[in-house]
């Protein structure tokens, strides 16, 4: 499961960079981390 989470994070981070996404400098977590957390939570509810 850890490998899946890392893969989802890496893909999400790469996609955000590819579309030119800029993050707020005041953030404590990256947007990729937030999106990954949401995707994992949704995935666990679907199973």
**pLDDT tens digits along 2-47:** 999 999 999 999 999 999 999 999 999 999 999 999 999 998 788 6
**Cα gap 10→47, rounded to integer Å:** 22
- What pLDDT does 47 receive? 67
**Cα gap 9→30, rounded to integer Å:** 10
Our measurement of the distance from residue 11's CA atom to the centroid of its chain's CA atoms, rounded to an integer in Å, reads 8
**This prediction's pTM:** 0.84
- What pLDDT does 12 receive? 98
Helix (H, G, I), strand (E, B) or coil at 40: helix
Question: How is residue 16 written in tokens?
Answer: 């955000």
- What pLDDT does 3 receive? 97
- What pLDDT does 44 receive? 79
Helix (H, G, I), strand (E, B) or coil at 22: coil
The answer to whether 12 and 38 are in contact (CB under 8 A) is no
């Amino acid at each position: 499961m850890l490998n899946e989470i890392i893969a989802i994070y890496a893909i999400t981070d790469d996609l955000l960079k590819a579309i030119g996404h800029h993050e707020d400098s005041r953030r404590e977590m990256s947007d990729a981390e937030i999106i990954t957390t949401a995707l994992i939570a949704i995935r666990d509810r679907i199973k």
